[in-house]
């Protein structure tokens, strides 16, 4: 097993002047499951492919353990990669697919069989070893792809959106299996996804990227409670944080009928961005706070969310708030929402950075 270090690593694609990954500095601990997350085009898959040796590194370096692998061939990096489309050989059985990498490495037939049988038991694939990929479900194919990686006992596992082709229920089930498997094996894993719920539920730490630049890398709870900027605040959380750009007057900002003292860091500024999580907006039946005009109620069984509009400082803002799932409001209803001022997040209206 080994740690992974990106040391100001950049990648610029031919014909482009803007880096797809821009001076990425990130240290992944030995045995850690780190998730790279961000919107499409943010550079997360490119970062993974740079580590795998499938994309060039224009500047900076990448280390696996203490070894600089920046210019090494993919086969010399001791990594195993699981792709979104499984990449299984259709003419080979499950056992042949799982053992193919070992066969190329010159491993004996007895050793290949022993390791394939061991991993098949680990993944619950024993009864499928003789089948071809076309006779398997999507979840089973994904487990075969994972098994092919595990039998090689690499220093680092790389997973590029491996659950994207699965249905919602199977995705939840499989991500739990991957996280459990990683902890049992104790192997370093770098996992790429665009799904922030997947990132938050799986990662020991989560690295958020935007436009090729690392925004924040932290444990999931820290990302949720203390986002470093407006982008991370809006990206992490489902439903997303409510963000409102509001004017500052006499060192205060008015959110409905509630006044909040703003950070001294805003001295001279005329605006600030206020962030409130949906679950922090409470229908408390009081006369203070915000009046929400409900447009849509989203009922999710034991959870319910109401989407609507509020008027703050003369401007209308779209808001989402958690509702009482046992007795949600009707569409068109007007609901009074209160909130704890200490739970409000503040961001600079100029550069989006977090204000204390």
In the chain, where the domains are located: 4-230, 241-355
What CATH fold (topology level) applies to the domain 4-230? Rossmann fold (3.40.50)
d(CA 223, CA 209): 13
For residue 285, the model assigns a pLDDT of 65
d(CA 327, CA 304): 9
What is the pTM for the complete model shown? 0.90
Sort strands 304-312 and 59-64 into parallel, antiparallel or unpaired: unpaired
Task: Give residue 344's region: left, alpha or beta (phi > 0; psi -120 to 50).
Answer: beta
pLDDT 10s digits, 143-166: 898 899 889 889 999 999 988 878
- Give the DSSP letter of residue 249: B
Could you give the 3-state DSSP secondary structure of residue 171? helix
Could you give the 3-state DSSP secondary structure of residue 112? helix
d(CA 227, CA 220): 10
d(CA 125, CA 115): 13
d(CA 317, CA 295): 12
pLDDT 10s digits, 5-33: 999 999 999 999 899 999 999 999 999 99
Consecutive H or E run containing 245: strand 242-247
Q: How many CB atoms lie within 10 A of CB 219?
A: 13
CA nearest neighbour of 239 among 286, 176, 296, 166? 296
Q: Is the preceding omega at residue 239 within 30 degrees of 0, hence cis?
A: yes
Which tokens belong to 82? Answer: 């699981």
Give the right CATH number for 241-355 from 3.90.550.10, 3.40.50.720, 2.40.50.140, 1.20.1560.10: 2.40.50.140
Q: Do 4-230 and 241-355 share a fold?
A: no
Q: Backbone phi, then psi, for 87, in 5-degree steps?
A: 55, 45
Which tokens belong to 240? Answer: 């997303």
For residue 176, the model assigns a pLDDT of 86
Tell me the pLDDT of the chain averaged across its residues: 91
In this predicted structure, the answer to whether residue 287 has a pLDDT above a threshold of 60 is no
For residue 164, the model assigns a pLDDT of 82
């Amino acid at each position: 097993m080994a740690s992974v270090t990106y040391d100001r690593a950049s990648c610029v694609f031919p014909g482009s002047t803007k880096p797809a990954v821009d001076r990425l500095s990130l240290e992944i601990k030995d045995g850690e499951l780190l998730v790279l997350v961000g919107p499409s085009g943010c550079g997360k898959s490119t970062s993974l492919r740079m580590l795998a040796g499938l994309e060039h590194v224009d500047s900076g370096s990448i280390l696996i353990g203490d070894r600089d692998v920046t210019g090494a061939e993919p086969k010399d990096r001791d990594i195993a990669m699981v792709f979104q489309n499984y990449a299984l050989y259709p003419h080979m059985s499950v056992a042949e697919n799982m053992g193919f990498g070992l066969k190329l490495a010159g491993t004996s037939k007895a050793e290949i069989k022993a390791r394939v049988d061991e991993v098949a038991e680990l993944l619950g694939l024993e009864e499928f070893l003789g089948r071809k990929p076309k006779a398997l479900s999507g979840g089973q194919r994904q487990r075969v792809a994972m098994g092919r990686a595990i039998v090689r006992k690499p220093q680092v596992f790389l997973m590029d959106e491996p659950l994207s082709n699965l249905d919602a229920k199977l995705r939840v089930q499989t991500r739990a299996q991957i996280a459990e498997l990683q902890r049992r094996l104790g192997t370093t894993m770098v996992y790429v996804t665009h799904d922030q719920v997947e990132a938050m539920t799986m990662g020991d730490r989560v690295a958020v990227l935007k436009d090729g630049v690392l925004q924040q890398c932290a444990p999931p709870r820290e990302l949720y409670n203390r986002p470093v900027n407006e982008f991370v605040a809006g990206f992490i959380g489902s439903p997303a944080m409510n963000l409102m750009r509001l004017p500052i007057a006499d060192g205060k900002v008015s959110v409905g009928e509630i006044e909040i003292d703003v950070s001294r860091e805003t001295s001279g500024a005329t605006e600030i961005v206020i962030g409130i999580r949906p679950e922090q907006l409470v229908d408390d039946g009081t006369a203070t706070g915000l009046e929400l005009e409900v447009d849509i109620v989203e009922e999710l069984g034991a959870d319910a969310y109401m989407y609507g509009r509020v008027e703050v400082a003369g401007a209308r803002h779209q808001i989402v708030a958690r509702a009482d799932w046992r007795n949600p409001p009707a569409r068109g209803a007007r609901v009074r929402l209160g909130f704890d001022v200490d739970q409000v997040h503040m961001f600079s209206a100029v550069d989006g950075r977090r204000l204390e």
